[in-house]
Amino acid sequence: MNDVILFLGVIYILYGLLGLVGVQRIPQEFRHRSWTARYKRVRGVGWLILGVPWCVLYLLIRSAELPRFVVVLLLIACSLPGIVWSYRTERSYRARIEKEDTEE
């Protein structure tokens, strides 16, 4: 399980860095808008918020013998900031789309 946490953490970090550069796959409804580049960067930050704590958690659980239940709780705790960030980001940008669509 420890190696999976590290692997996924690294993947999330790499995908977040790609998002910061602007190379990220996004839904069709978010493309070709004036704020699309910013949206990609904000999503990249969200992936970094998810990936970095997972890698730190890997270092923590590698050096300590923790029960699996504790590891799962720590994994959930480390994931919550990224999940909340993504949820709030999606809500705000979907509101922008609705606002732009009603103005047209």
Give 7-10 contacts, CB < 8 A, sequence gap 24+. Answer: 8/51, 8/54, 9/51, 9/52, 9/53, 9/54, 9/55, 9/57, 9/58, 10/51, 10/55
Q: What does the pLDDT average to over 46-63?
A: 94
pLDDT band at residue 63 under the 50/70/90 scheme: confident
Domain that holds residue 37: 2-103
Comparing 49 with 1, the larger pLDDT belongs to 49
**pTM here?**
0.89
Domain total in the chain = 1
